[in-house]
Chain A
Amino acid sequence: MNFLAHAFLSFDQEKILVGNFIADFVKGRQIENFEEETKRGIFLHREIDLFTDSHPLVKAGQSYLRPKFGHYSTVITDVFFDYFLIKNWSEFSASTVEDFIQKTYNTLDRHEDIFPERFANMYYWMKKDNWLLHYGEVEGIRRSLTGMAKRTRFDSKMEQAHLALIEYEDEFEVIFFAFFRELETFARQKLSELASHS
């Protein structure tokens, strides 16, 4: 999943949110440098991504993208899900998406000192350009995927993936609604499992 979904699936738990955000930038034994609750956020992030990548409905969605974007389809669907999360925010939260995003930035700011360096560099731009909110617009999706395309070693064609969102918006929205509720239940359950094991 992408950043906004990970923030939402941290269920307003401060250090879980931090761990959930930095997880992709924490490699190997570096995890031992973090305190227990942040570690749980990192583990939760990995469980969420594993659940998403192996879900049949997500795979069905990726079938629309695979002919053109190959294995980058997984990245693209993650970004698309953030788009639908913002688009249908009122169905998932009582607060506004703007308030939620601001709260997320405020929380992350309080823990800047533990950010891995690569994440800190990226977070600066994320906050400055308000990536989280812009995932709710096709133009924001285009910019985000174009940025990712520039960083890939091969020609991913991700800069054109927003066109697939426009073309298959209804299909992806059906998939999002069917999948995201299940993911929310899974993440909640996994988080309490992680808490009980520590």
Chain B
Amino acid sequence: MIVIKPKISTYFSLSLIVVALLTGLIFILRDFAYKGSFGLWFYLIAASLITLVLLMLLVKMMAGFRFITAGRDQIIVKLPLRGFQKAYPIGDILVWEEEVVVANKKEFRQMTVAFSDQQSISISNHEHEAYHELVKYLRKKAGKKEIKNKKA
């Protein structure tokens, strides 16, 4: 069985950034409430900006928080944050594709699998463990359903 799960190292780094931003936000709000060292515009812009980045990071982390098990001709998708779990037989895969993006001499790979019930999952090599094993598995079991068109 192939188990795809979020990479602990990625989530650890992202969590550190979240904590740093949260600390910054608390500092700014405390400073505004008790000291007022800066002008009002600074607080408004800085607090909004940090909140936005924080939310985007949390959304990113939550979106990637998924567990996928592949084997015995089925794919089990588990989204713990939504309490969703479903087993899809290989025949339920409509299409799948792997997108490869090279940036800063690093290769980022993302795979999307679309199922017949309109659900789809996306996983990437830098956020999830056992990514390459799943690609190999799908090429073997559902090779005809791969869309080969993207290379950037």
Q: Which of A37-45, A55-63, A143-151, A189-197 contacts B (4 or more CB under 8 A)?
A: A55-63
Q: Which of A16-24, A70-78, A119-127, A172-180 contacts B (4 or more CB under 8 A)?
A: A172-180
Collect the chain A residues with CB atoms within 8 Å of residue B136's CB: none
Q: How far is the CA of A59 from the CA of B122 in the complex (A)?
A: 23
Within 8 A of A (CB), among B65-98: 81-82
B126 at the interface (CB under 8 A from A): no
Q: Are A169 and B56 in contact (CB under 8 A)?
A: no
The binding surface of chain A is classed by DSSP as: helix
Collect the chain A residues with CB atoms within 8 Å of residue B16's CB: none
Q: For this complex, into which size category does the number of interface residues on chain B fall?
A: 10 to 19
A171 at the interface (CB under 8 A from B): yes
Given A87-B119, A177-B82, also A170-B55 (CB < 8 A): no
Q: For this complex, into which size category does the number of interface residues on chain A fall?
A: 10 to 19
B51 at the interface (CB under 8 A from A): yes
Q: Are B56 and A174 in contact (CB under 8 A)?
A: no
Q: How far is the CA of A171 from the CA of B65 in the complex (A)?
A: 11
B59 at the interface (CB under 8 A from A): yes
Q: How far is the CA of A173 from the CA of B122 in the complex (A)?
A: 12
Residues of A in contact with B (beta carbons under 8 Å apart): 56-57, 59-61, 63, 87, 136-137, 166, 169-171, 173-175, 177
